[in-house]
Amino acid sequence: MLNQVVVHIILVGLIFAVFLMATAGKVEGRGVKQQVLEKQTALLIDSAEPGMDFIIYKINSNGVIRDVKIDHGRVWIGIDGFDSYVGYPYFSKYSVSVRAEEGKFVVSVR
Amino acid sequence: MIYRLVLVSIVAIVVLGISSIFYSHFIDVRDAEARIMARDVVDCLTDDEVVLGDSFELFRDCGIFVGDPERFFVRAEMVGEGFEFSVEHGDSGLTWIKDFFDANLVSGEIKKYNPGYYTGDFVGKVFVDEEIDVSIKVEVLVSDEF
């Protein structure tokens, strides 16, 4: 009987831990911050002229940026351990690439 | 025991679902995209190196790489002295959706499906035997992103 109660408490605790972690992510607005960064970056690429570079600092007002990818016509930004699953599409007449440097990502339009 | 666990799980899922709706926020940049696309289209149509003709295909011949081309409807009409040219890309049916939203028939969350839109008049020059001044009317519609 006692074992059953202990197992019960552990399982309920696990469910609430998952619930709290998921809610914490939402409350911190990581998804919204990621959306802001992806859309800002896509608009910058849309309006950039060849020869332009722009920098996205890893320590950003929107959080700690782990990864910036340009792939399949979309911008993907991983922020605060929150991966991007959708990305945001951009359009450009030019070649777009991104490289990681110390403390920043550099997006180049050529 | 199973009964209680199922109950706790259902409560957790309901609270998670409500919080995900409550805390989500949609940022709409499609009007800005439409404006930038219109500028790119005008730049292309007035470019001396671009040949305007029956086989002209907007994104291909302008070299505009679009990650998701079906999001866009673009219409451009050029008129000058003895010169007319028009080109379209995409599904003109999207303009119906725009008209539907403009008629204020919807409210609330559905409004985020309202397409981004820009229309503008520009002037430029094209070269047909000689340089001609043209006026260019551009309409760009960016459909939803969901």
**In terms of CA atoms, which chain A residue is nearest residue B18?**
A23
Q: Which residues of B touch A35 (CB under 8 A)?
A: 25-27
Helix (H, G, I), strand (E, B) or coil at B43: helix
> Which residue of A7, A29, A73 is in closest CB contact with B23?
A29
Which H/E stretch holds residue B14? helix B2-23
Query: Residues A11, A17, A19, A22: is their CA dihedral positive or negative?
Result: negative
**Nearest residue to A41 via CA among B45, B118, B71, B29:** B29
Q: Is the pTM of this model over 0.95?
A: no
Going by C-alpha positions, the residue among A83, A9, A100, A95 that lies closest to residue A49 is: A95
pLDDT digits 0-9 by tens, B54-76: 888 888 888 888 877 888 999 99
- Taking an 8 Å cut-off on Cβ atoms, the answer to whether B1 and A39 are in contact is no
* SS3 (DSSP) at B22: helix
Q: Please tell me the predicted confidence (pLDDT) of residue B142.
A: 92
Q: What is the pLDDT of residues B103-144, one digit of tens each?
A: 877 777 777 788 899 999 999 988 888 888 999 999 999 987
Sign of CA dihedral B42, A51, A103, A86: positive
Number of residues that make up chain B: 146
Could you say which of B9, B24, B44 has the minimum Cβ distance to residue A15? B9
Within chain A, where are the H helices? 2-27, 30-47
Side chain identity, residue A49: E
What span, in angstroms and rounded, lies between the C-alpha atoms of A82 and A61?
15
Share of chain B above pLDDT 90, in %: 32
Mean pLDDT of A8-22: 80
Cα separation values, B136 from A107, B71, B79, B128, Å: 33, 22, 7, 16
Does the structure show a pLDDT above 70 at B16? Answer: yes
Of B27, B64, B72, the CB nearest to A39: B27
Amino acid of residue B45? L
Answer whether B4 sits within 8 Å of A12, measured CB to CB: yes
- Tell me what pLDDT residue B21 has: 67
Q: Which chain B residues touch A29 with a CB distance below 8 Å?
A: 23, 25
